[in-house]
Amino acid sequence: MYFTQVHEDAIVKCCSTDNWREKEELYNTLIQPAFSQMVDKIVFTYRFTSLPDIDDLRDECKVYLATILTKFDPAKGSKAFSYFSVITKNWFIHKVKQTTKRNKR
C-alpha cells in the first residue's frame, strides 16, 4: 500500500505546521512518493495513458498536487487519499476534455 495512515498523518501535519523545514521534510520523504504512485495508478486505472505527452502531464499533475497540498482540511471529514485522488482524477478528465476539444477544431 502506497498511501497509509502514516502518509495521511504526514499530510495533516504538513497542513497544520508553519515550519517550512518540517513541511519540506514531510513532503520529500512521505508525501511526494505517495502522490507519485497515486498519480501513476490513477493514470493506468482510468486509462489516461492515451493522452499525448502523458509523462509530462503526470509530472504537471504532481506539481499541481504540491501547490494545493495546504488546501486540504481534515476538519471537513474526508481522508487525504480520497481528497487528492478525486482531484487527480478530475485533473486528468479536464485534460482529456481539453485534448478532445482541440482535436475537434
Check residue 28 and report its DSSP letter.
Answer: I
Q: Give the separation between CA 43 and CA 88, rounded to whole angstroms.
A: 9
Interatomic CA distance for residues 85 and 39, integer angstroms: 8
Check: CB of residue 77 under 8 Å from CB of residue 33.
no
pTM for the predicted model, two decimal places: 0.93
Q: Which of 13, 67, 61 is nearest to 36 (CA)?
A: 61
Low-confidence stretches of the chain (pLDDT beneath 70): none
- Can you give the pLDDT at residue 58? 97
